């Protein structure tokens, strides 16, 4: 798997078990009726689109789960550009097991490859600039790890696996708490009380809030949300690298380089996972 995003083996195994249970239920009655239980078949993963492949390693794990005696030969590594007609992998295993795993492999890889493709395009757009494109928590429930894995394969950066590994004080937190200064103070009291060492990002919506946050300090990063480009450039200049800077909101492939050229350290893009689409793939018995 990608070196940038490490996943515990048990998380992958649990995903495979639960996804197969959802699909198989009481049994794959069609295959059980049509296919002899000792039958062996080979299949290939055919790419029918242009993009970046992702999920080959996951497919290997799925086929190993359904038939430990099968063979899996990867032809294209995760993260590689692919074109129509490419063969991503070959697999030979028990035919019933092959058909059992087919839809799980395709659904997972098509989703992952769509995310990796979009992530790769964002990464290319800011090539040569000292900025990182971040994903967000805008992921599909229960398969966040797969979607973030795909982001990493596509060349962007994972940010916040959940609510537990980073403090992010957003507008709703501030409005409910009373002020940025009060929210920051309460966060530090909480971290000290619970013996936690977490990074702290604070979202600001305008220059007035920005100045309040700079004056309060004791944070890691300032997220400049929905700032128009001239205002974003002014905000970055005002911060003067005293804190990390992050731009978010309304950022697309068409304007991401302009945002990066303002000098921000990070750009968060929810679209990497919530608007990526899929890559057309098929698994064909040969």
Pairwise CA distance, residues 21 & 15, whole Å: 10
Whole-number average pLDDT of the chain: 96
Catalytic residue among 170, 205, 233, 257: 170
Do 9-124+277-285 and 157-268 fold alike per CATH? no
Active site residue 182: no
Cβ(71)–Cβ(92) under 8 Å? yes
Model pLDDT, residue 4: 53
Model pLDDT, residue 240: 97
Pairwise CA distance, residues 36 & 32, whole Å: 7
Catalytic residue among 61, 80, 103, 132: 103
Model pLDDT, residue 182: 98
Catalytic residue among 28, 135, 203, 209: 203
Active site residue 103: yes
Among all chains, which residue has been given the structure tokens 């028990």? 94
Taking only the tens place, the pLDDT of each residue in 22-76 is: 999 999 999 999 999 999 999 999 999 999 999 999 999 999 999 999 999 999 9
Active site residue 233: no
Which two structure tokens, joined as six digits, stand for 21?
């249970």
Taking only the tens place, the pLDDT of each residue in 152-204 is: 999 999 999 999 999 999 999 999 999 999 999 999 999 999 999 999 999 99
Provide mean pLDDT across the span 12-19. 97
Q: Which pLDDT band holds residue 6 (cuts at 50, 70, 90)? A: confident
Domain 9-124+277-285, CATH homologous superfamily name and number = Quinolinate phosphoribosyl transferase, N-terminal domain (3.90.1170.20)
In order of 10, 13, 35, 65, the CA distances from 95 in angstroms are 26, 21, 7, 14
Architecture of domain 157-268: Alpha-Beta Barrel (3.20)
Catalytic residue among 78, 147, 225, 246: 225
Model pLDDT, residue 124: 98
Active site residue 37: no
Model pLDDT, residue 5: 63
Taking only the tens place, the pLDDT of each residue in 206-253 is: 999 999 999 999 999 999 999 999 999 999 999 999 999 999 999 999
Model pLDDT, residue 7: 87
Q: Which pLDDT band holds residue 2 (cuts at 50, 70, 90)? A: very low
Taking only the tens place, the pLDDT of each residue in 81-116 is: 999 999 999 999 999 999 999 999 999 999 999 999
Catalytic residue among 80, 138, 144, 205: 138
Active site residue 257: no
Taking the domains of the chain in order of start, what are their residue ranges? 9-124+277-285, 157-268
């Amino acid at each position: 798997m990608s070196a940038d995003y490490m996943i515990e083996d048990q998380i992958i195994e649990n995903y495979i078990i639960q996804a197969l249970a959802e699909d198989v239920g009481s049994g794959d009655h069609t295959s059980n009726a049509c296919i002899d239980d000792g039958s062996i078949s080979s299949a290939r993963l055919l790419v029918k689109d242009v993009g970046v492949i992702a999920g080959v390693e996951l497919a290997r794990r799925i086929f190993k789960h359904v038939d430990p005696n099968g063979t899996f030969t990867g032809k294209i590594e995760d993260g590689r550009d692919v074109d129509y007609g490419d063969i991503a992998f070959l697999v030979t295993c028990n035919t019933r097991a092959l058909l059992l795993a087919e839809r799980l492999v395709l659904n997972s890889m098509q989703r992952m490859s769509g995310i990796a493709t979009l992530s790769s395009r964002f990464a290319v757009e800011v090539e040569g600039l000292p900025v990182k494109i971040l994903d967000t928590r805008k992921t599909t429930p229960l398969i966040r790890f797969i979607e973030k894995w795909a982001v990493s394969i596509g060349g962007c950066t994972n940010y916040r696996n959940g609510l537990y590994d980073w403090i992010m004080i957003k507008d709703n937190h501030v409005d409910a708490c009373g002020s940025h200064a009060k929210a920051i103070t309460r966060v530090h009291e909480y971290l000290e009380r619970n013996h936690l060492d977490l990074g702290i990002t604070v979202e600001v919506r305008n220059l007035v809030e920005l100045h309040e946050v700079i004056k309060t300090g004791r944070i890691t990063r300032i997220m400049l949300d929905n700032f128009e480009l001239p205002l974003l450039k002014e905000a970055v200049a005002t911060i003067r690298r005293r804190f990390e800077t992050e731009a978010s909101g309304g950022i697309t492939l068409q304007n991401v380089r302009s945002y990066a050229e303002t000098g921000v350290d990070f750009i968060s893009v929810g679209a990497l996972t919530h608007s990526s689409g899929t890559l057309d793939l098929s698994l064909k018995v040969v």
